[in-house]
Amino acid sequence: MKRRALAAALLVFATAACGLDVNAALPFEVRPGSIRPVPELADVDITVGSKDFTEQIVLGYLAELALEAAGANAIDLTNISGSNSSRYALVDGQVDVQWEYTGTGWLSYLGNDKPIPEEKAQYEAVSKADLARNGIVWLPYSEVNNTYAFATTESYAAEHGLTTNSDMTRFLRQHPEEAVFCVETEFASRPDGMPGVRRTYGFDVTRTKTFGAGAIYSALAGGTCNFGEVFTTDGRIAGLHLRVLADDRKFFPQYNASVTLRKEFLDRYPQIADVMAPVSDALDNKEIIELNKQVDVDGRDPAKVARDWMIAKGFIN
């Protein structure tokens, strides 16, 4: 414990100038389950970072719990404000392990103009380019894909037989008066938002209402609009009984979550890849939506939500 306290104190000093807040350790004991202690990771200090929204914080805690079960000292640097700050913390060595999204890496960090439509191809492209250019390794991606989508209520979707954007398009051609959409202001005019998706699917819009991102979910549930722009893994989807319509023509970019590390750090501790693999494999959109819901809708602490999921999956005890 003295070693961990010293490491945390040094990290606080090192990150204070950057405005990053360190929470030295998990607030509870972690006992191994199917994730067993790894001798090479025993007492190794590993700093885990995340961005400052629910899903990222939950994913960060999942990584910390897995690493603690393997015997490492996980240092909590979750909840970093902004994607660019969290990315810099990883590249600069303030963070050792961090979940990232393939589309964000490809479009925002690597500066590409066009996404790659298929999940695997997008992952392979970003992992190859980021390693070559920045020395960042992307571990195999999970099925968590936090991309854009249209959603409606479960009852509305069931009444009109809607499961995909193509279903929505056919329905709106027959019932144009139903084409009332709630979207963010930026999404309404951005080429990779409403203008582009309308061209791809060929649907018309009778009325567009603009909201902040968080307000769209309640507007959908309350009947203010029939269709709305959402993020596919938001916990309010489950909490408000919304149905995400499948992007069957794959217009929206792919945002699969993957654990990222600096190559030099992974070369020192290659066992981290094996520790994180079962956690990544167990995650998909259904699982992460439920975890996000427990935080955003039910008001639970994200660390406890992550712990309970890891126990339920048998990864820890």
Instruction: Say if residue 35 is in the same domain as residue 131.
Output: yes
% the chain with pLDDT above 70: 92
Instruction: Say if residue 127 is in the same domain as residue 204.
Output: no
Q: Collect all residues with Cβ–Cβ distance below 8 Å to 86 and sequence separation of at least 6.
A: 49, 50, 51, 56, 80, 95, 98
Instruction: Say if residue 209 is in the same domain as residue 306.
Output: no
Instruction: Say if residue 165 is in the same domain as residue 41.
Output: no
In a domain, 79, yes or no: yes
Instruction: Say if residue 157 is in the same domain as residue 264.
Output: no
Tell me how far the alpha carbon of residue 60 is from its chain's centroid: 10
Last residue of a domain, one of 223, 245, 267: 245
Last residue of a domain, one of 199, 221, 245: 245
Q: How confident is the model at residue 14 (pLDDT cuts 50, 70, 90)?
A: very low
To the nearest 10°, report the CA torsion of 241, 242, 245, 246: -60
Task: State yes or no: pLDDT of 25 exceeds 70.
Answer: no
Instruction: Say if residue 89 is in the same domain as residue 209.
Output: no
Q: What is the mean pLDDT of residues 35-60?
A: 97
Q: What is the CATH number of the domain that holds 234?
A: 3.40.190.120
Asked if residues 260 and 100 have their Cβ atoms less than 8 Å apart, the reply is yes
Q: What is the CATH number of the domain that holds 274?
A: 3.40.190.10
Instruction: Say if residue 263 is in the same domain as residue 240.
Output: no
In a domain, 233, yes or no: yes
Read out DSSP for 73-138? EEEEEEEESSHHHHHHHHHHTS-SEEEEEHHHIIIIIS--SS--SSHHHHHHHHHHHHHHHH-EEE
Instruction: Say if residue 94 is in the same domain as residue 32.
Output: yes
In a domain, 308, yes or no: yes
Give the pLDDT confidence score for residue 196 in this predicted structure. Answer: 92
Number of domains in the chain: 2
Asked if residues 26 and 64 have their Cβ atoms less than 8 Å apart, the reply is yes
In a domain, 265, yes or no: yes
Instruction: Say if residue 25 is in the same domain as residue 74.
Output: yes
Instruction: Say if residue 201 is in the same domain as residue 52.
Output: no
Average model confidence (pLDDT) across the chain: 92
Last residue of a domain, one of 192, 213, 245: 245
- Domain range for residue 110? 2-145+255-312
Alpha carbon distance 98, 252 (integer Å)? 24
Q: What is the pLDDT of residues 254-276, one digit of tens each?
A: 999 999 999 999 999 999 999 99
pTM, two decimals, is 0.86
Bigger pLDDT: 75 or 4?
75
Instruction: Say if residue 235 is in the same domain as residue 265.
Output: no
Task: State yes or no: pLDDT of 85 exceeds 60.
Answer: yes
Alpha carbon distance 181, 201 (integer Å)? 15
Q: How confident is the model at residue 12 (pLDDT cuts 50, 70, 90)?
A: very low
Instruction: Say if residue 199 is in the same domain as residue 83.
Output: no
In a domain, 317, yes or no: no
Q: What is the pLDDT of residues 50-75, one digit of tens each?
A: 999 999 999 999 999 999 999 999 99
In a domain, 250, yes or no: no
Q: What is the pLDDT of residues 162-189, one digit of tens each?
A: 999 999 999 999 999 999 999 998 889 8
